[in-house]
A and B are shown apart, each in its own frame.
Chain A
Amino acid sequence: MDAKTKASVLHDVIRRFGTGGSDITSADWEQFVEAQNDGFQTGPEMGERVPGFSLSDQNDRRWTLNDLMGPKGLLLVFSRSADW
């Protein structure tokens, strides 16, 4: 899928979601997922050090990787969005 098609699919399905989504077919949905998965990357490899960061949470408290880390590790989940 080229960049133009991907952009158009992504805009289109979200717009149709916005108006109820009843006209979205399963083929549309498959295309929507495919448009997002092209060139799928998964980031740092096993054994690789992850990038450092400092971010605020839902209560405006700041956390670095060290702050979050438990005695045996940290499960860090990257989600699409909490908003939709």
Chain B
Amino acid sequence: MEKLRSQGVNAAAITYDSPQILHDFGEAYKIEYPLLSDVGSKVIRAFGILNTNIPEDHEMMYGMPWPGDYLIAPDGTVRDKFFLRDYQHRPSASQIVVRHFDGDGGSNTVNVTADQLSAAITLSTDRCFPGQEIAVSLGIKLKPGWHIYGKPLPDRYRATELILHGPLVEGLALEFPAPRPMLLKALGETLPVYEGEVRALGKLGIKWSPPAPVPFLEAFGKWIAPGAYKIEGELHFQPCSDSICELPQAVKFELPMQLEAGIPPAPKKTPQQ
């Protein structure tokens, strides 16, 4: 949330709970931003997101919204919205910053060098919850005279690829800019290439873990203990110049990632006698 605030974006959450319940929750998790009490779900209804599948006589769930986030511009209009259908995935606040605001893409960075290039791999955070999506950016600087390949590419050449793996990694979706077709006289073909500086942006999905090793929820994901982990990866590329092609290479790297515990419901205060 500090990342958002440093970009001039405030945060607030709304639920149908009473101010007392929200107070207990805020205390338990040291939450500093407003938790707004929409008892009776008037605002949830006004937004049009009251979950109409829940019957009125359902004590616990009636009044609940389809959960989601709005990024609202200062003029009161929707700039973006993030609604996810399952209990497992939620974009991180840092990813929202990267997607919408210029500047700092994150401070969790590692630099790698090879003979023909240097690269920085950056994650938008070094702390995450199970099931989150984190922004990834890859910045490559090629030495003059050298190029690497994009897609689509014949099999005999290696396209540029970033691979991430490790116990926390669910999947990576990375978008490269369109490569430039270049006629390579020495090879006698026109191929999609990158030269100079290249930047790719994408999302890393963190594996979901149940908040505790509960048998029926484990069908959706194995329990992963909170703690310090590493995101490991390789940058694959094939550097070529006007006259020669090197063999495909991979540079390895790793980035730290702290997995926080999934949040269980707030502990209830014992009633005063």
A: which residues have CB within 8 A of B? 3, 6-7, 10-11, 14, 21-22, 24-26, 28-29, 33, 35-53, 55-61, 63, 65, 68-84
Contacts and interface: CB of A to CB of B under 8 A. Distances in A.
Interface stretch (B69-77, B168-176, B195-203, B236-244): B69-77
Interface of B: 4-5, 7-17, 19, 21-26, 31, 34-38, 42-44, 46-49, 51-55, 57-58, 60-61, 64-81, 83, 85-87, 93, 96, 101, 214-217, 219-220, 265-266
Contacts of A44: 47-48, 70, 78, 81
B166 to A, nearest CB: 26
A46 B14 CA distance: 20
A39 B31 CA distance: 32
B35 A57 contact: yes
Given A10-B54, A46-B79, A58-B25, 18 more contacts: A7-B58, A10-B58, A21-B214, A39-B52, A39-B53, A41-B66, A44-B48, A50-B72, A53-B42, A57-B19, A63-B36, A70-B74, A71-B74, A74-B12, A75-B69, A77-B12, A78-B13, A84-B265
Contacts, number: 225
Contacts of A60: 19
